Amino acid sequence: MELNCPKCEHELDRSGELKRHCESCNSDFKLFIACHECGDEIERLKACGAVSFWCNSCNELKSKSSAIYTLKDD
């Protein structure tokens, strides 16, 4: 999954599990992953090397592709 900087459109570097950095404008962002159905933040679950997502509000597993990724200023 590639994300671009909301400020300058430069491709972001991965600087941590849920962190992205733009070297073009030197900004740091936090990745917020939300449920596409209820909009609440969903939890990342790591099991057997695979990552899946769990929504506490819907009380069910969500697929990675359905999740909504939002960047927030860190």
* CB distance 69 to 32 below 8 Å: yes
Compare residues 8 and 18 and give the one whose CB is closer to Zn ion: 8
Q: Is 18 left (phi over 0), alpha (psi -120 to 50) or beta?
A: alpha
Nearer to Zn ion among residue 48 and residue 66 (C-beta): 66
Site residues (vs Zn ion, CB under 5 A): 5, 7-8, 10, 22, 24-25, 35, 37-38, 55, 57-58
Task: State the minimum distance, in angstroms, from the CB of residue 59 to Zn ion.
Answer: 8
Q: Are 44 and 34 in contact (CB under 8 A)?
A: no
Q: Which is nearer to Zn ion, 25 or 61 (CB)?
A: 25
